[in-house]
Amino acid sequence: MVNTRARYFFARNTYLFSLLLLAILLSVNYSLQDNLFELRILNNSMRTLLPLIVLAVGQSVVIIGGGIDLSVGTMVSMLVAVLVKLIDAESSSTDIVLAVLAACGVGALAGTLNGVMVAVLRLQPIVTTYATSFIFSGVALVLLPRPGGQIPTELRRFYAGTPNGIPLAFYVIGILILVWMLLRSTRYAQFLFATGSNDKAAYTTGVPVKIIRLTTYIWAGVFAGLAASALTFSTGSGQANIGDNMTLDSIVAVVLGGTRLSGGKGGIAGAIIGVMILRVIRNVIFFADVPTWSQTLVNALIIIAALAGPGLVGLIRRVVNK
Amino acid sequence: MALTLFANHIVKRYGGVIAVRDGSLSITSGEVVTLVGANGSGKSTLSKVITGVAAPNEGQLLLDGKEVHFASPQAAKKLGITAVYQELSLVPDMTVAENIWLSHEPLRAGLGVRGGEIRRRTRDLLALFEGTVSPRLQPDTFVNTLPPDERQIVEILKAISNQPRLVIFDEATASLDSAQVDRLFDLIGEWKRDGMAIVLITHRMEEIFRVADRVTVMRNGQTVGTVDIGATSEGEIVQMMIEGASSPGDIRMTPVEVSAPVRLEVSGLHAGRVRGVDLTLRDGELLGLGGLQGQGQTDLLLALFGALPYTGTVTLAGRRIRFRHPRDAMRSEVAFVPGDRGSEGLMLSRSILENFLLPSWRRFGLIHDVQAARGAASSAAEDLSLVYSTLDAPASSLSGGNAQKVVIGKWLLREPKLLLLNDPTKGVDVGAKGEFYALLKQLTQQGTAILFYSSDDDELLGLCNRVLVLQDGLVRDELSGDRLTRSNLVAASLGTGHGKH
């Protein structure tokens, strides 16, 4: 009984190991950088992390459903371009809300394109979304050939705000987790996890596998819209390749957070923690005076370790059990 | 609510292959119909048509007098028709409770899943099999931690949870042990009295006579007849299923001479669930391993094949050996035939040729002499009387019995001296079994020593001269001669016989 409960707890909360890792890394980071938790520094870090966090949340949904989306990065670039077109220094708050909705809407359309190809036409998700990523980056260039754009000063101030002494990003994260917890107790979540874990079994049980899979890509698109909004508010302007590098980071964050890359297991809390781990590792490298040229190398090693991690854990467990 | 279902002259083609040529079946509430036939005779496909998993090309389904077309399994489920599938339809990363209620979860306000309610109802369902399953089987247990028999039970409960009017059990008993089968049949009796209609697909003759009201027999995709159970006999059913099938009783191996050289000697073997096994196997002998499922038989075979770490001594043809990898075992002329041919025995998407030759490419040179290899494979296929289109067709195109022949055949090309068989006839039809038994006999006559685990008591009784009954990782009893009877086999597997330990 106790064993069953413990197993259930660990299997449901896949992010626990990542949380521990984050805590360790944070203490290392703190020892190198003692102002890490000062409000201004913390708010700065969280503000720049928020776009990737939102994007990784969308990516988690796709990965849990058994797919992968390699187009989210350029999708962000495209949607930033959309936002920059719709917002200028004089925009009212209504305009801004409408612009964010438009970005999410265009993101949903782009996600539908991916979803139809993967779920309905049954094309291979890696190749398909890699291909569509070039469409999105092309559209971004057409919309925004030169870097530019402006946003109202109040908006930038709002985004950089710390209501009640807590960085705005934490409120967003709180809302995301709350929504996820509600979603987790719906039938949609059961279908999502079933589809990612064993799509044939799900189908014979009466789960609408195609529709579920399609919706995961739409979610990724909507979250790309939110990520693009956060990125625009943070930087105050845009350029046509601003999000391109975020794809790989979003996948690595999901994996670092304990979500299984082949689907059916994980959650968004892991993705959020994963983004933070990624950032803290990079912080540590920076403050440990590692030469800049080796930072790219270290980044690549983190990615490989994150992808190989689950396999390594299994291997270690087997060796230890012997 | 009572139900009457007629499936009339169903035709189902997959591409150019006809799976069901002319399938018919009728059933009403409160009735148990067993559907029998050789593998590849179309039983599974016919039941998939009835449950909406496959759409028929021709023919009609009449439900309560009205013609129905099911677009999906959901559509059939809504009308109270469901199935316990042979290929399990469970989601490994979800719990028992989540699996049972998947897609018909009790909902709160049409949205939220009622977790507590699901657990409570699951506990009630699990109580049906109480005593035959381990106490580990709880609503919150993850399905991927369960052994095959308990997964099968979850699958059964999942079908029942929807309060269906018609349930098709597609070989649901194949991976259950005898206590679980007994319980299932008691339950089927109850469900039948409650007015459920039940179709049971099985390969076990004994089960047919235990529960069926009527028997529908299929052969080559065609329904060849339906008989009342009171008006038929085992012989007649077998006759209907396949011409000239041999029952295992006709083919008992010749006992080996005590002077035959000892091929394998094992003492004090511990591995996985095996907790100390001694045995001796002579050249040309077929030694049976019996007992309930999961008592260590598979682990014993895996250890002997170097696929599971073990302690204890193993002597092969007089030489102390210690295999660390299946490759070591293969070099010592040991072969292993796994029970799960889908995942361990065959590369389904690769050709029959490649499947045959995988263990023996070495024989055909560094740069393969494909001509010679092809010749060897086709003569092996002939020896096995394999039914296939071409050697280049994928292994997935073979029927169950023929696929099993390839699993064994690929090792025969290496001419093993010791053959380890892990429940090789599970889910194989009577006709293919007969040919398989003949093959075993031929092998023993050539001097191959065979260690044979079977979950089918008839098979052990019919083929072996000596059977070791395992219970809880120990040899509970060794049966031979007059003591090799069904009652002793059952008694020993339940641990009540004259124990050696």
Structural domains of chain B, with CATH: 4-241 (3.40.50.300), 244-333+416-501 (3.40.50.300), 348-414 (no CATH)
Return the closest-CA partner of residue B326 out of B420, B258, B259, B431: B420
Compute φ and ψ for B311, nearest 5 degrees.
-120, 160
Q: Residues with Cβ < 8 Å from B34, sequence gap 6 or more? A: B199, B200, B201, B202, B207, B208, B211, B212, B214, B215, B216
pLDDT band with cut points at 50, 70 and 90 for residue B246: very low
* A-chain residues near B309 (CB < 8 A): 322
Average pLDDT over residues B384-397: 80
- Supply B256's token pair: 């080996």
Quick check: A11 and B142 CB within 8 A? yes
Quick one: closest CA in A to B142, which residue? A8
Average pLDDT, chain B: 84
> Does B245 have pLDDT greater than 50?
no
Name the residue type at position A21.
Answer: L
Q: What is the pLDDT of residue B46?
A: 92
Residue of B260 and A171 predicted with greater confidence: A171
Return the closest-CA partner of residue A103 out of A33, A55, A158: A55
CA B426-B432-B438 angle, to 5 degrees, is 105
- Per DSSP, the residues of B100-122 read HHTTS--EETTTEE-HHHHHHHH
Q: What is the pLDDT of residue B136?
A: 84
Give me the residues paired with residue B163 across strands. none
Return the closest-CA partner of residue A4 out of B113, B272, B95: B95
Quick one: closest CA in B to A186, which residue? B112
- Residue of B81, B93, B138, B311 to mutate for A, most A C-beta atoms under 10 A: B93
On whether the CB atoms of residues A71 and A129 are closer than 8 A, the answer is yes
3-state helix, strand, coil in chain B (%, to 5): 35, 25, 35
Strand, coil or helix: B294 = coil
> Does B249 have pLDDT greater than 60?
no
Average pLDDT over residues B329-334: 89
Q: What is the pLDDT of residue B233?
A: 81
Looking at the complex, report in whole angstroms how far the Cα of residue A66 sits from the nearest Cα belonging to chain B: 12
Name the residue type at position B30.
Answer: G
A5, A11, A194 member nearest B91 (Cβ):
A194
> Per-residue pLDDT for chain A (322 aa), expressed as one digit of tens each?
557 777 788 878 888 888 999 999 999 999 988 888 888 889 989 999 999 999 999 999 999 999 999 999 999 999 999 999 998 888 888 999 999 999 999 999 999 999 999 999 999 999 999 999 999 999 999 999 888 888 888 888 898 888 898 999 999 999 999 999 999 888 899 999 999 999 888 888 888 899 999 999 999 999 999 999 999 999 888 888 899 989 988 998 998 898 888 888 899 999 999 999 989 988 888 888 777 777 778 777 877 887 776 667 667 766 666 5
- Supply A138's token pair: 């092309």
Residue range B235-244, pLDDT digits in tens: 787 777 765 4
Other Cβ atoms closer than 10 A to A309? 16
Average pLDDT over residues B298-302: 92
pTM over 0.95: no
Packing angle, helices B370-383 and B400-412, rounded to 10? 120
On whether the CB atoms of residues B386 and B406 are closer than 8 A, the answer is yes
List the beta strands (DSSP E) in B310-379: 311-316, 319-321, 334-337
Continuous H helices in A66-165: 72-86, 93-115, 125-143, 153-159
- Residue of B94, B145, B160 to mutate for A, most A C-beta atoms under 10 A: B94
- Residue of A192, A204, A211, A320 to mutate for B, most B C-beta atoms under 10 A: A204
- Supply A261's token pair: 């890359």
- Residue of B45, B82, B103, B114 to mutate for A, most A C-beta atoms under 10 A: B103
**In whole angstroms, what is the distance from residue A101 CA to residue A89 CA?**
18
* B-chain residues near A189 (CB < 8 A): 113
Return the closest-CA partner of residue A60 out of A230, A203, A256, A228: A256
Containing B404, the helix (H) or strand (E) segment is helix B400-412
In the block, tokens 């990784």 appear at A56
> Does B276 have pLDDT greater than 70?
yes
Return the closest-CA partner of residue A303 out of A230, A252, A260: A252
Q: Does the ipTM exceed 0.85?
A: no
Cα atoms in the 13 Å half-sphere on the side-chain side of B118 = 25
Quick check: A187 and B98 CB within 8 A? no
**In whole angstroms, what is the distance from residue A204 CA to residue A146 CA?**
51
Other Cβ atoms closer than 10 A to B257? 11
Q: What is the pLDDT of residue B430?
A: 64
Q: What is the pLDDT of residue A54?
A: 97
* A-chain residues near B145 (CB < 8 A): 7
**In whole angstroms, what is the distance from residue A98 CA to residue A126 CA?**
32
Quick check: B102 and A190 CB within 8 A? yes
Quick check: A4 and B141 CB within 8 A? yes
Residue range B37-53, pLDDT digits in tens: 765 678 888 999 999 88
Q: What is the pLDDT of residue A99?
A: 94
> Which of A295-309, B50-64, B160-174 is predicted least confidently?
A295-309
Compute φ and ψ for B10, nearest 5 degrees.
-75, 135
State which of A86-95, A215-224, B168-177, B202-211 shows the largest mean pLDDT.
A215-224
- Supply B410's token pair: 């690929």
CA B439-B440-B445 angle, to 5 degrees, is 100
Q: What is the dihedral of CA B38, B41, B43, B44, to 10 degrees?
A: 100
Q: Is the dihedral of CA B59, B63, B68, B73 positive or negative?
A: negative
The total number of residues written for chain B in this structure: 501
Quick check: B113 and A8 CB within 8 A? no
List the beta strands (DSSP E) in B317-448: 319-321, 334-337, 418-422
A3, A4, A264 member nearest B93 (Cβ):
A264
Quick check: B91 and A201 CB within 8 A? yes
DSSP state of B3: -
**In whole angstroms, what is the distance from residue A123 CA to residue B417 CA?**
48
pLDDT band with cut points at 50, 70 and 90 for residue B501: very low
Containing B290, the helix (H) or strand (E) segment is strand B286-290
- A/B interface, count of CB pairs below 8 Å: 85
On whether the CB atoms of residues B97 and B155 are closer than 8 A, the answer is no
* B-chain residues near A203 (CB < 8 A): 73
Q: How far is CA B470 from CA A121, A179, B466, B480, in A?
A: 51, 53, 13, 15
Q: What is the pLDDT of residue B6?
A: 92
Looking at the complex, report in whole angstroms how far the Cα of residue A47 sits from the nearest Cα belonging to chain B: 33
Q: What is the pLDDT of residue A103?
A: 96
Average pLDDT over residues B98-106: 88
